[in-house]
Amino acid sequence: MPQAPIIYLDAASTTPCSDEVLTDMHEFGQIAFGNPSSSHLLGRLAKSAIIESTSTLAALLGCRPNEIIFTSGATESNNIVVLGSVKSGQASNIVICPIDHKSTLAAAEELERRNIEVRRMRVNTCGRVDIDHLASLLDEHTALISISYVNSEIGTFQNLKDIKKILKQRTHILFHVDAAQALGKIPLNIKSLGVDCLSLSAHKIGGPKGIGALYVSQHAISRLNALTFGGGQSPLRSGTLPTQLIAGFGAAARLIQRQNHRESWNAACQRRSTILEIFNAHKISYLINTPKYKSVPHILNISIPGIRAETLISHLGKVCISSGSACNAHDLRPSHVIMGIGHDSDRAASSIRLSFTSDMDIDQIRNGVEIICRTVSTLRQLIHRGNNHD
C-alpha cells in the first residue's frame, strides 16, 4: 500500500532547504571548506561565499554590505539588540511588544533582572500596536523600541511607518524590527522602513537552521554593546563564520529575490481561503485569531472551541501543524499571543496555527485540512460520548 505523504502546514516554524541551497552548502562545507579568515586559497574561496551572500542580503534589503552581521539566527540577533542597547550605569528604559517572539521577551526580562525598566506597548485584538499609547511610553531615557514586523503566531503585520513617525523627534531611540516572519512575505527595504536594526532568520525562507542576520545601520552600530568577545570576525560578534550556512542563507535569499511578490501574495491568499472553505464545508465551528486585514496570508491561526490544540495535534498523524510558536513547544502554557490580544485561556489553549509557503501544492493543503476536519469531528464525538457516560 502506498504510504500517505507527510503534509507540512507549519512553514512559519521552519521550511525545508531547497536543492539550490543544499548544493551551495555542500560546496562550502566539503570542497571550499576553508576558514574564511585564512589567507590561503581555501580561505579565500570560503570568504568569497561570505562576500556573495552578504551582497545578496544587502541588495535584498537595500543597505550596505558592511551593515549586515551574520548571527546564529533571529534569536541571537534579537538578543544582541535588546541586551546590547542598554549601556551599564545609565538610567534607561526599553519598549517592547508583549506579543512578540520569546527571544525578545526573554531578553527584555533579563534586563528587568538587571534593574532596567521594560515598558510594554499596548496591542488591540488584531495584534496591532496602539501608536498613541506607544508614544506615551517614550521619554529621554528610552534606549530602544523593539517590535516584530509580522507576528509569528497570528500573522498580523505592524505599521512601521507610523512608529517611525513618532520617533522622528526622538533620534536617541534605537528602532529595532524583528523581521524573521516578514522576510519572503513582505518586501523589506531598509530605507523605506527607516529602522536602525533588523533581525532575520534563514530557515524561515528555505535556508538552513542556525544562521540568521542582523542589519545594523552604520550610525547605530556604536550604540550597541557586543555580547561575545574573541577574534572580532564581525562587528558586535566574534566566532568563525559558518561558511556553508552563510552560503545556504545567500542561496535562499537569491530565491526570494527572484520571486514575484504580488503573485506569491495572491497565491498565499488563495491557499488561506481554501483552508477556510474546507472548514466551512465540514461545518467545523472555529474562531479566527488572525485578523482578516493587516495580516500576511501565509499564516492562519484559529481556535476550535472545546478541542485542545495539543490533543488535536497528537491525533493528526502525518499532518504537521502547530499550536502557538514551535519555539515554545515544550511550554504548555496557553499562547501568550492569543492571551495578549485579549482572549481567554480556553481560546488560547484551543488555538492552532496553519502556515504554508505560497508555492505549497494546493491539493496537499486540501488533503491536510480534510484530515484536520475529520479528526476534529472524531474528537468531538469522543468528547460527546465521554460526557454522556459521566
Ligand X SMILES: Cc1ncc(COP(=O)(O)O)c(C=O)c1O
**Catalytically annotated residues:** 327
- Shortest CB 185 distance to ligand X, Å: 11
- Judged by beta carbon, residue 103 or residue 303, the one nearer ligand X is 103
Q: 3-state SS string over the chain? A: CCCCCCEECECCCCCCCCHHHHHHHHHHHHHCCCCCCCCCHHHHHHHHHHHHHHHHHHHHHCCCHHHEEEECCHHHHHHHHHHHCCCCCCCCEEEECCCCCHHHHHHHHHHHHCCCEEEECCECCCCCECHHHHHHHCCCCEEEEEEECECCCCCEECCHHHHHHHHCCCCCCEEEEECCCCCCCCCCCHHHHCCCEEEEEHHHCCCCCCCEEEEECCCCHHHCCCCCCCCCCECCECCCCCHHHHHHHHHHHHHHHHCCHHHHHHHHHHHHHHHHHHHHHCCCCCEECCCCCCECCCEEEEECCCCCHHHHHHCCCCEECECCCHHHCCCCCCCHHHHHCCCCHHHHHCEEEEECCCCCCHHHHHHHHHHHHHHHHHHHHHHHHHHHHC
- Shortest CB 342 distance to ligand X, Å: 20
Q: Which long-range contacts (CB under 8 A, 24 or more apart) does 89-92 make?
A: 90/141, 90/143, 91/141, 92/116, 92/117, 92/141, 92/142, 92/143
Residues in contact with ligand X by CB under 6 A are 73-75, 101, 103, 148, 152, 178, 180-181, 201, 212, 325, 327
- Judged by beta carbon, residue 212 or residue 334, the one nearer ligand X is 212
Q: Tell me which residue has its CB nearest to ligand X.
A: 73
- Shortest CB 156 distance to ligand X, Å: 11
- Shortest CB 366 distance to ligand X, Å: 26
- Judged by beta carbon, residue 157 or residue 279, the one nearer ligand X is 157
- Judged by beta carbon, residue 325 or residue 375, the one nearer ligand X is 325
- Judged by beta carbon, residue 47 or residue 128, the one nearer ligand X is 128
- Shortest CB 42 distance to ligand X, Å: 28
- Judged by beta carbon, residue 43 or residue 239, the one nearer ligand X is 239
- Shortest CB 326 distance to ligand X, Å: 7
